[in-house]
Amino acid sequence: MAATEISGQVPLRSGELSRLVSLVGAAGTGARVAAELAGGPGAGKTRLLTELAREATGEGKCVLRGLGSEAFRHVPFHPFIAAFTNWRDSDSGTTVPGAAALIRTLTTGTASDSQIPDAVSLFTEFRKSLAECLPAASGGLLLLLDDFHWADPCSVELLDMLVGHPTGGRLSVVMAHRPRQSPVALRAAVQHGVESGTVRTVELGPLTLRQSAALLGRAPDSSGLARLHEQAEGNPLYLTALAEAGAKSPAELPETLARSGPGARLLAETTSLGERTRTILRAAAVLGNTFDVTAVAEVAETDHQETSRILDDLKRRDLIRTVPDGWRRLGFRHELLRHCVYGDTDASWQIGAHRRALAHLSSTGALPTELAPHIERSCAGIEPSDAAVLASAARTALHAGRPVDAARWLAYALRLQRAVGALDSLESVGPGLWRPVVQGLAAEGEVRCIQALGNEILAGPSGAGDGTRADTVAFLATVSASLGHGEEAQALLTAELPADHSRATSTRRLLQVQQQLTKVLAGAALARADIEMLVVDTGHSDPLTAAGALALRGLCAVMDTDVDIRLAEGVLDASAQALDGFTAGGAAAQHLPGHLLVLSWAEALIGRYGPARAHAERALATVRERGDAHLLPPLLNTLGYTHYQSGQMAEALTAVDEARTAAFALGRADHVGLAEAVSAAAWSQLGRSGEPPREQHSPRLPDEDRPPRTSLDALLYAEAALARGDAEAALALLLPEGDSAWRVSEPVAVLAARGYELLAAASADRGPDDARTEQWAERAVAAAAAGDLPEQRGHALLAHGHVLRCRQLIAEATRCYEEAEELLGGETPAGTRARELARAPEQPAGRGEEDALTELTQREREVAGLAGRGLKTKDIAQQLRVSPRTIDVHLSRIYGKLGVSSRSGLVRLMARSN
């Protein structure tokens, strides 16, 4: 029998199904084995029995199903009677001969108290009747008993008899139950069968991550799946409920969950409870995740002894459990169950229950985090001290890594503060608290929570003065933009701009600069006219705002189609001089990192990698100290890019790896894309064909959430492709199907020469007959002339060298490559390529690496092969049993013969030749 599959993906519970199938098949050989299927509520027992029944029916077996039920737990033999009542002949559809006698045997001679007066004679008669019926099941009989934890004592004894004294026919029995809810007699009978070898246990443990992914129809590495799987504790029912509600955790579930399909399944266990018991269960749900008997009695307004008795019954039903904290406290089986019970409770009763809970817990000295939910839900808030309790709870939740809870309680504290005018408690809910809460939310990408909390912050006394309020608005807008919500950030800033431009000019100028900064953070384009007007307006503003405006103007000039490098350099110099004079303290600590980010990225684009790296590192230090995680991805990517362009590959990989993780948490797919592009390019320079496989826990955006590749991403991936000798891949990255324009958007002017040089290099690598090499080189020269930067001129010389090389003008090509190396720098990726090409004059374009390798001696080929695998000199020396100095001599000769100048160049050449 084949394992069942979900949506064509990984089989769900395939291992357990296979074991059951094997046990059922063993009955055909006369083996005396029954199966116990054990699992908690929602583990998938019924579903697995259904799959087993389908497989068994396909094998020609007769399948009968009996279901235990609390409503019939006092009816003798009910599961068996229900099963045998449905025994039909597969051909005629009529009741199997003898089935009626079998049922009569079970329904006669039993007392009303469910005790068997003459067990021996009854069981003897039952065995005789069953043996007469079994021939009707020519392929064998499979008896499935589901929810057997509700079985009556007679059914438990009959099951024990069937397991211990088989009838001799081909009968298989599979009994499913919840061990925590099963009576002692059933557990004892099963244990006896296990010990005697007549019962095999199949336990349904938590789903694996791959099984959870299959159940939800998602990829195992899809966004949020691991957290969802953890919150559901691997339980299929809980997992489905969380996924359908779109919640990241049980705490974020909507109140309507109790009326949903999964909610109804969870609440089905409570429908048979008496009203008193349900009241106590609801009181427990009001108290939260854990509670004790005294607290429940106070909230439910019931006697302590009665409450204790009812809670013991709820424990037997596995609705609540003892919490293993050493304090004999109780808790619900799962937070989802508590949430559904709470949602099914009358709203007016809830308010009173929360007030009683608040009074009781306050009298016992409960922690603020225990009091806060009851203040929030009891509509109390009449005491000014409530705001302080909520603020303390928010602070504790934040330190515990629960920023969503902290934000909810803080928002309510701010509302209470306004309602009762508790200005004396302003300090407890001021910027010292709400700012870290917003930062914590930003680190987890909680945009909606930030917006809701931001509304409460701006509606309160925080930022009553113009300057403080403007700083608050600027901070909130920066966070929203960093999370990719540029429109919300713009709306927030626009709403705060003074209608009268003659009033509060410093505030207006600050907000106008922030408007343009948030565009950069959100990935939007800057408008040249807006930036130029901004610089004029902020000329007489405070120095920090003016310096920020200059940085924006410099970036705009760099990104402009008609780039004016001299203007850009002058503006960026002025901005750098001003920003370098500020210390990261006071108000500057909030605004300085954003301005440094703009400055460093503009400097990186025009090849000023040293200053760009220094400014990015300075901004990063401030951001880390303040906890502004929302600014980490762009700063780390800027730093990683400058390290890559400077030839510092290890440092580049460290920076972009952190950038990718931070961007993934924030939901910024564009920053994830750039980090991965820099990573791929850096790994290729180290001689590897792209980035090595990530660990299983490493974050990765699903394909549908990934943005279109940007022009810079394409350039980096193309450089990686060329480094590993794959010219076709480089061309595919940069050219569309028609080969008439860029596959991605046209790169900014300062990157155009670099892009055309890559196209020329890829065309030249395809062989001297590719006519497009000269075309791309001409465009590179034209782009470099327009920009007039050393790096651009270096790329133009590289491109021209490719043309000369294709024409077999080796001496002229070598001079071009050497001049390009001087302009590009010997350690940069492009400079390294120029140096390697300059030192390979005897190897014209299109010559294969195999031809060059033939010039190596046998020992040199061994050394080159080991070095090409990434081995270090000492490791090669140890393997070949020579000195490291001898290996260095061999490598020097190898470099000269192959026309490479570094270990990474040798690694790339050897990788292409294999």
User: How high is the pLDDT of residue 5?
Assistant: 38
Question: What sign for the dihedral angle of Cα 317, 322, 328, 331?
Answer: negative
User: How high is the pLDDT of residue 696?
Assistant: 37
With a cut of 50, say whether residue 869 has pLDDT above it: yes
User: Is the domain of 93 the same as that of 197?
Assistant: yes
User: Is the domain of 793 the same as that of 888?
Assistant: no
Q: Pick the residue with more confidence: 904 or 685?
A: 685
Q: Pick the residue with more confidence: 848 or 473?
A: 473
User: How high is the pLDDT of residue 179?
Assistant: 94
| Helices (H), ranges, 735-872 | 749-765, 772-787, 790-806, 810-824, 829-838, 849-853, 858-868
With a cut of 90, say whether residue 871 has pLDDT above it: no
User: Is the domain of 830 the same as that of 891?
Assistant: no
Q: How far is CA 80 from CA 83, 164, 453, in A?
A: 5, 17, 59
User: How high is the pLDDT of residue 442?
Assistant: 93
Q: Which residues of 348-365 are buried (b: 16+ CB within 10 A; e: fewer)?
A: eebeebbbbbbebbeeee
CATH of the domain at 200: 3.40.50.300
User: How high is the pLDDT of residue 252?
Assistant: 65
Does residue 543 lie in a domain region? no
Specify the 3-state DSSP secondary structure of 735. coil
Of 88, 82, 85, give the one whose Cα is nearest residue 69. Answer: 82
- Residue at a domain's end among 172, 188, 205: 205
Does residue 106 lie in a domain region? yes
With a cut of 90, say whether residue 298 has pLDDT above it: yes
In the chain, % of residues over pLDDT 90: 40
182: pLDDT confidence band, cut at 50, 70 and 90?
A: very high
Contacts 24+ apart (CB under 8 A), 701-705: 701/223, 701/664, 701/669, 701/672, 702/219, 702/221, 702/222, 702/223, 705/223, 705/669
User: How high is the pLDDT of residue 308?
Assistant: 95
Out of 270-279, 693-702, 734-743, least confident range: 693-702
Does residue 563 lie in a domain region? no
User: Is the domain of 856 the same as that of 761?
Assistant: no
741: pLDDT confidence band, cut at 50, 70 and 90?
A: very low
User: How many H-runs (helices) and E-runs (strands) does the chain carry?
Assistant: 44, 8
Residues 6+ apart with CB under 8 A from 406: 393, 394, 395, 397, 398, 437, 440
User: How high is the pLDDT of residue 913?
Assistant: 67
User: Is the Cβ–Cβ distance between 555 and 526 less than 8 Å?
Assistant: yes
Sheet strands side by side (includes 171-177) = 62-67, 141-146, 171-177, 34-38, 199-203
d(CA 723, CA 719): 6
User: Is the domain of 34 the same as that of 117?
Assistant: yes
**Stretch 207-217: mean pLDDT:** 89
Q: Domain range holding 120? A: 14-205
Does residue 809 lie in a domain region? yes
- Residue at a domain's end among 205, 223, 252: 205
Out of 637-641, 708-712, 811-815, 901-905, least confident range: 901-905
User: Is the Cβ–Cβ distance between 150 and 76 less than 8 Å?
Assistant: no
With a cut of 60, say whether residue 906 has pLDDT above it: yes
With a cut of 90, say whether residue 890 has pLDDT above it: no
User: How high is the pLDDT of residue 787?
Assistant: 78
User: How high is the pLDDT of residue 7?
Assistant: 36
User: How high is the pLDDT of residue 423?
Assistant: 47
User: Is the domain of 81 the same as that of 170?
Assistant: yes
- The one-character DSSP state at 460 is S
Q: Pick the residue with more confidence: 462 or 864?
A: 864
**Stretch 100-126: mean pLDDT:** 70
User: How high is the pLDDT of residue 739?
Assistant: 47
With a cut of 90, say whether residue 224 has pLDDT above it: no
Whether pTM exceeds 0.85: no
CATH of the domain at 899: 1.10.10.10
Does residue 110 lie in a domain region? yes
User: How high is the pLDDT of residue 519?
Assistant: 94
Tokens read off for 171: 């009968």
User: How high is the pLDDT of residue 859?
Assistant: 83
User: How high is the pLDDT of residue 507?
Assistant: 82
Out of 5-14, 86-95, 499-508, least confident range: 5-14
**Stretch 749-774: mean pLDDT:** 85
Query: 65 has which bridge partners?
Result: 144
With a cut of 70, say whether residue 693 has pLDDT above it: no
130: pLDDT confidence band, cut at 50, 70 and 90?
A: confident
User: How high is the pLDDT of residue 806?
Assistant: 87
User: How high is the pLDDT of residue 3?
Assistant: 38
**Stretch 609-631: mean pLDDT:** 95
User: How high is the pLDDT of residue 184?
Assistant: 93
Out of 424-428, 691-695, 802-806, 905-909, least confident range: 691-695
Q: Pick the residue with more confidence: 420 or 509?
A: 509
279 Rama sector, left if φ>0, alpha if ψ -120 to 50, beta otherwise: alpha
User: Is the domain of 854 the same as that of 826?
Assistant: no
d(CA 160, CA 157): 5
464: pLDDT confidence band, cut at 50, 70 and 90?
A: very low
User: Is the domain of 152 the same as that of 70?
Assistant: yes
Q: What is the pLDDT of residues 350-383, one digit of tens each?
A: 999 999 999 999 999 999 999 999 998 887 555 6
User: Is the domain of 51 the same as that of 108?
Assistant: yes
Out of 131-135, 178-182, 242-246, 906-910, least confident range: 906-910
Specify the 3-state DSSP secondary structure of 202. strand
With a cut of 60, say whether residue 708 has pLDDT above it: no
Q: What is the pLDDT of residues 9-43, one digit of tens each?
A: 335 788 899 999 888 877 666 566 789 999 999 99
User: Is the domain of 858 the same as that of 871?
Assistant: yes
How many domains would you assign to the chain?
Answer: 3
User: Rounded mean pLDDT of the chain?
Assistant: 83
d(CA 67, CA 180): 18
Q: What is the pLDDT of residues 549-568, one digit of tens each?
A: 999 999 998 888 777 788 88
Tokens read off for 643: 């390290």
**Stretch 449-475: mean pLDDT:** 79
Does residue 162 lie in a domain region? yes
Q: What is the pLDDT of residues 305-324, one digit of tens each?
A: 999 999 999 999 999 999 88
Q: Pick the residue with more confidence: 521 or 844?
A: 521
With a cut of 60, say whether residue 744 has pLDDT above it: no
**Stretch 269-273: mean pLDDT:** 90
d(CA 64, CA 53): 9
User: How high is the pLDDT of residue 621?
Assistant: 94
d(CA 146, CA 66): 6
Q: What is the pLDDT of residues 318-346, one digit of tens each?
A: 999 998 865 679 999 999 999 999 988 99
Out of 56-70, 296-310, 783-797, 893-907, least confident range: 893-907
Q: Pick the residue with more confidence: 436 or 709?
A: 436
Helix (H) or strand (E) holding 26: helix 14-26
User: Is the domain of 104 the same as that of 80?
Assistant: yes
Count the neighbouring beta carbons within 10 Å of the beta carbon of residue 704.
7
With a cut of 70, say whether residue 736 has pLDDT above it: no
Residue indicated by tokens 């298989």? 172
User: Is the domain of 772 the same as that of 907?
Assistant: no
Q: How far is CA 856 from CA 471, 846, 862, 883, in A?
A: 67, 19, 9, 20
Helices 810-824 and 829-838: crossing angle in degrees, nearest 10, is: 150
d(CA 784, CA 754): 9
469: pLDDT confidence band, cut at 50, 70 and 90?
A: confident
User: How high is the pLDDT of residue 852?
Assistant: 65
Q: What are the backbone dihedrals phi and psi of residue 37, each rounded to the nearest 5 degrees, phi first?
A: -105, 105
Does residue 185 lie in a domain region? yes
d(CA 561, CA 239): 51
Q: Pick the residue with more confidence: 744 or 238?
A: 238
Query: 144 has which bridge partners?
Result: 65, 174
Of 363, 907, 367, give the one whose Cα is nearest residue 684. Answer: 907
**Stretch 684-702: mean pLDDT:** 52
**Stretch 435-447: mean pLDDT:** 92
Residues 6+ apart with CB under 8 A from 598: 517, 520, 548, 551, 552, 554, 555
Tokens read off for 250: 């049980």
- Residue at a domain's end among 167, 189, 205: 205
Does residue 250 lie in a domain region? no
User: How high is the pLDDT of residue 141?
Assistant: 87
